[in-house]
Structure 1
Amino acid sequence: METTFDYVIVGAGSAGCALAGRLADSGDDTIALVEAGHHDHHVLVRTPAALAALLPRAGARNYGYETVPQPGLNGRRGYQPRGRGLGGSSSINAMIYTRGRAADYDAWAAAGCDGWSWDDVLPYFRRAECNERLAGSDDDPLHGGNGPLHVSDLRTPNPFAERFIEAAQQAGFPRNDDFNGEEQEGVGWYQVTQHAGERWNAARAYLHGGNKRDRACNGGRAHLRVLTDTQALRIVFEGRHAAGVQLVREGHRQLLRARRDVIVCAGTFGSPQLLMVSGVGPAAHLREHGIAVVHDLPGVGANLQDHLDIVLHKRVAVPELFGVSFGGLARLVPEMLRYRRERTGMMSSNFAEAGGFLRSRPDLPEPDLQLHFVVGMADDHMRRLNFGHGYSCHVCVLRPRSRGEVRLASHDIRRAPLIDPQYLSDARDLDDMVAGVRIVRSIFAQPQLAGFGGRELYSAGLRADGSDDAAVREMIREHADTIYHPVGTCRMGMDAMAVVDPQLRVRGVEGLRVVDASVMPTLVGGNINAPAIMIGERAHDLIRYAPRVMLRVLESMEA
């Protein structure tokens, strides 16, 4: 196997696929894309509703991490599913396409991340997006119609999700038909990263286009080598220059050398872990694990942020909802056959079909809560099954103040890192979650939902008048967990705790970048898959064109 490439990219998740595909399309540089997991040519990846099989437990396509015990959650360990294989978490997520608000990105720029304001990043969102509502047009100022990432409305939306939207309107919240439009606030249907009823993950978008015969997964690009089932062990430095990546493939250790850059796209947990086992990170922590320090960079692994989420469930006897029952099982077989024939029906559902962005208080300038309405009782990441049918609604705080960290459990990257989100370490996050619970219960109480009766699973004893905040707080501590949006552990910026600069270059070393959600300085107000892909798109231009621009500047100065 060839062992020297222009670029060695570690991690074929959302950002890694976008970056690798764009680099391969824009030049003749040789690229190695290294991925620890399998290819994504699998029915469980293609079928949207199959996320119910992939999400709940660790396996070949899900790292299934756990956090360290969380004092804010009564000492419980949180669950942190992360995608393993081509597409990364875009292969196991709920496919929701949201971007956050313009103010989120403007705040990045104001904090020192030049080139990352909303006006700077919007072109990359549009370049990535192929929104079916535009029918191939690029005339919309906020959406793209010709990008590789298909974005669509659900083919067979569940009518019960429409009842949730109407109930929220009855509770006084406005309807919104495009959360990525001029205004984010309101309730409505989510658009999803699907095409013709199938999941359209980042690998389909940027590597192989869904062609199952493309076993190389490189879209026929001879200069792009996609190495699945290949574990990166560490970055190899020559002095302070990242010269390559040591890896294990088919039981043998190899060194892939990079002529230009080693680019780490291993995700919010994997990227800081790889930097630290390679000698870049907090020096004292590295020495604890016997790792020689290449560069003392204290921000590596710090600044972990996540959307902590609480779910309210209600059991109702409505067979159109997902559920565990004899009737539900009997319905499953014809629905599977329908999906095989038409790519429609229940199997095309992403479960979290509708939702909203709301303000916990009317005096706030922007929504601070997000709802995900699920057409089933999704209890404990679908790891706990409750007999019968029902619905549920998630609520999370969009801009939490709590900050955690990722640390090493071992010098061996094959051992899971120590993940400590420090949920609810800032008391204001708990206050906002209490407000969110009250809002969800007020929606449940509206005629469009209340008319079906039923009983809430864990919140049935709460008072309708809001006079029992202590009980709500205890329910949150006992049942809240992630909604799968960890970011920030290789933070972008220019201060001493920043890990990468605005060009995504690791500070203090050469030939090394990080390109994924770990570089986000702060969480955006929404789901993070689309922003991660945007980061991969923008990184391409920074890598491909920024050196040329700098050369032209220098030449003009000399002239």
Structure 2
Amino acid sequence: MTQDGGSVKAFTETPFDYLIIGGGTAGLVVAARLSERQDLNIGVLEAGYAIPDDTPAVSVPGRWGEGIGTEYDWQFETTPQKQLDGRKLPWPRGKALGGSAALNFMIWNRPSSDDLDAWERLGCKGWGWNDMLHYYKKSEKFIEPDNKAKLEHTIHYDREAHGTEGPLTVSFNKQHSVPHQYWHETLENLGVATNKTHMSGSNVGAWTSMVAVNPKTATREYSATSYYRPVKDRKNLTVLTGATVQNVVLEQSNGGDWMAKGVRFEHGGSNYVAHASREVILSAGSVKSPQILELSGIGNPSILDKANIETKVVNKNVGENLQDHLLTATIYEIDPSVPTLDDLRTDPKLDAAADEEYKTHLSGPRTLLSCSIAYIPLSTLVPEAGIPALTSHLSKSTDSVSKAIATRLEPSANGGHVEYIFDVGNWNPFTPVKPDKKYATLLQILQYPFSRGSIHAKSADPNEAPVIDPQYYENEGQIDREIQLHAAGFGQKILETEPLKSFVKGRVWPPPGVSKAEWNDWIVGNTTTDWHPVATCAMGGKEGKEGGVVDERLRVYGVKGLRVVDASVMPLQISAHLQATVYAIGEKGADLILEDARE
């Protein structure tokens, strides 16, 4: 059950076996799975609140993006980025039951097998593709499209690769915007084949994406609706919302070992402590999880000293190794007769009509999502002769993560280095738009970043946002900027190839005829986050504590009874949108916890 402020005292007096910090994507997966054991008592602390079902900005697919900047968003921002003209970037993160999956664009895909096998090569035993596929399938309830939809929308999939009995319903959209019909043929004319098994170990090529949408209700699926709601009345599961975690309660044994015993939190202006007899599980995401570890005295002494926090467990990797996907959006003019979501934002009558169609028929513009996807390997974007120019920026780092990232520049590497998404509407806030024009957007998203930054507590105050410094395009990140330049060239080819060539009138942002130097300046001025931060509490693999924050069973080095289960444990970025992988991490994390509970 979900408790309100009047039940805080009861929450603190409950003898929990496990306390979960964060009721987001992974946290609610873990809560649901652990509470299947009736002999275990599970508590969840969530800073945000449950989102009412009648919140269109979250539940209605075609209103994607409207939840960003609301009360359901932490509304973080980065430090000024040196290589982005000193710009600070907004970093939306979900602050609600269900976490960031309540705000995302609902794309449901998986990385290529080698992305996860790379984790295992780093020493993260049990985290390769063959092990993780079970957990991807375990989370899914895949609803197959009918034959008519398959034909009309170029839908392909490998039925055996999907789960059909999991909590979270996933599907293919029933309707698509106008240019989707041209996507596959255009890419094929460029030599990029349609990938008919894009969820089965290689996502390279063009495909129609799945989405986290229930086709029966045409509503967003996320962990609050799929994992939590069906089990919320379990007597051994209690969720407390509106609870801001201050730190993990650590106690030291006579032998000097640190142990997690509970959680300090604030609720309604008062401070409380809740206790856990077995474990505390940190599932607060790639931004908050490292901050909470540091607030608890776990981290780099130099960072903690500056924040006026006592160091209890030294680990210089906490908050480091931050990797994010980098996005730019080029804009093209299209025929003014083509319907776009921009129409609904400017015409109240069209907006009302779309709402009525959705309410009455569960169809129309309010159901549309961007599903025209292509993942392109580096070998297609950069001629082999151009690779030495990229590798010249590589440092002489000898740590295993740096070496693993460097292998992604090898000519034989065949992962999807850059993702392209095309749809109608203007997605770039910097575009100089004209009121009588209509636009379409080509998103270009770099998947394997060399840019690596950090997230750290600024002070001992848990209400103060952490310092987020992705260091986009800095140091080895120069490679990212150069790949983005090459990728922009390939993106231009996409829109110069039929049949999409006939659909667009021409590029308007950046303006036609820009030089290479001007393209570079445009990339610097337009790059933003794709909201996929990982690795700030990464698995250490073979290097153990020297290389990470948690071991392969997600246990925090140097502390008994404390784990991290969320996207922050990923040691390397993947070529995919994160949500399906985060659900799989939650499923595997729950299994690891339950396995250890039986010992």
Q: TM-score, normalised by structure 1?
A: 0.91
Shift of 1:520: 0.2
Q: Is the 8 A contact 2:299 2:315 kept in 1?
A: yes
SS at 1:167's partner residue?
A: helix
Distance 1:174 1:441 in 2: 18
Amino acid at match of 1:534: A
Q: Is the 8 A contact 1:300 1:489 kept in 2?
A: yes
Q: Is the 8 A contact 2:38 2:236 kept in 1?
A: no
String of CA shifts for 1:182-227, please: whole Å, max 9, x gaps. 5412112110000021100111121004xxxxxxxx5321111111
1:373-522 paired onto structure 2 within 5 Å: 373-380=422-429, 387=435, 388-425=437-474, 426=476, 427-462=478-513, 468-494=515-541, 495=543, 496-522=546-572
Shift of 1:453: 4.1
The match for 1:228 among 226, 237, 241 is: 241
Counterpart in the other structure of 1:530: 580
Distance 1:96 1:452 in 2: 24
1:46-85 paired onto structure 2 within 5 Å: 46-55=59-68, 57=69, 59-85=70-96
Q: Is the 8 A contact 1:493 1:501 kept in 2?
A: yes
Shift of 1:547: 4.4
- 1:540 lines up with 2:558 in the alignment: no
Distance 1:320 1:527 in 2: 27
- 1:188 lines up with 2:207 in the alignment: yes
Distance 2:235 2:145 in 1: 33
Distance 2:345 2:33 in 1: 48
Counterpart in the other structure of 1:261: 279
Q: Is the 8 A contact 1:322 1:390 kept in 2?
A: no
Distance 2:360 2:268 in 1: 38
Amino acid at match of 2:235: A
SS at 1:8's partner residue?
A: strand
Q: Quick one: structure 1 residues 527 and 326, their matched pair in 2 at CA, closer, same or farther if it must change by over 3 Å?
A: closer
Q: Quick one: structure 1 residues 134 and 452, their matched pair in 2 at CA, closer, same or farther if it must change by over 3 Å?
A: closer
- In structure 1, the gaps of 5 or more residues are 210-217, 552-559
SS at 1:530's partner residue?
A: helix
- 1:285 lines up with 2:303 in the alignment: yes
String of CA shifts for 1:283-312, please: whole Å, max 9, x gaps. 111111211111111100000000111111
Distance 2:139 2:342 in 1: 36
Counterpart in the other structure of 2:190: 171
String of CA shifts for 1:33-68, please: whole Å, max 9, x gaps. 11111102233221112223212x2x3111121111
Counterpart in the other structure of 1:554: none
Distance 2:38 2:554 in 1: 20
Q: Is the 8 A contact 2:22 2:47 kept in 1?
A: yes
String of CA shifts for 1:415-471, please: whole Å, max 9, x gaps. 1111011111222111211111111111111232232443433222345xxxx3222
Counterpart in the other structure of 1:340: 359
Q: Quick one: structure 1 residues 522 and 326, their matched pair in 2 at CA, closer, same or farther if it must change by over 3 Å?
A: closer
String of CA shifts for 1:64-120, please: whole Å, max 9, x gaps. 211111112121112211111011010010011111011011111110101111111
Amino acid at match of 2:59: R
SS at 1:447's partner residue?
A: coil
Counterpart in the other structure of 2:119: 108
Amino acid at match of 2:559: V
Counterpart in the other structure of 1:118: 129
Q: Quick one: structure 1 residues 13 and 374, their matched pair in 2 at CA, closer, same or farther if it must change by over 3 Å?
A: farther
The match for 1:2 among 11, 15, 19 is: 11
Distance 1:493 1:6 in 2: 27
Shift of 1:391: 1.2
The match for 1:201 among 209, 222, 230 is: 222
Counterpart in the other structure of 2:103: 92
- 1:238 lines up with 2:251 in the alignment: yes
- In structure 2, the gaps of 5 or more residues are 1-9, 147-157, 253-257, 381-410
Amino acid at match of 1:49: G
Q: TM-score, normalised by structure 2?
A: 0.85
Shift of 1:167: 2.4
Distance 1:396 1:420 in 2: 19
Distance 1:143 1:48 in 2: 22
SS at 2:179's partner residue?
A: helix
Q: Quick one: structure 1 residues 329 and 364, their matched pair in 2 at CA, closer, same or farther if it must change by over 3 Å?
A: farther
Cα RMSD, aligned residues only: 2.1
Q: Quick one: structure 1 residues 131 and 421, their matched pair in 2 at CA, closer, same or farther if it must change by over 3 Å?
A: same
Amino acid at match of 1:267: G
Counterpart in the other structure of 1:309: 327
Q: Percent identity?
A: 30
Q: Is the 8 A contact 1:318 1:390 kept in 2?
A: no
Distance 2:481 2:445 in 1: 10
String of CA shifts for 1:309-358, please: whole Å, max 9, x gaps. 111111322432222579754322111111112222111123x2211111
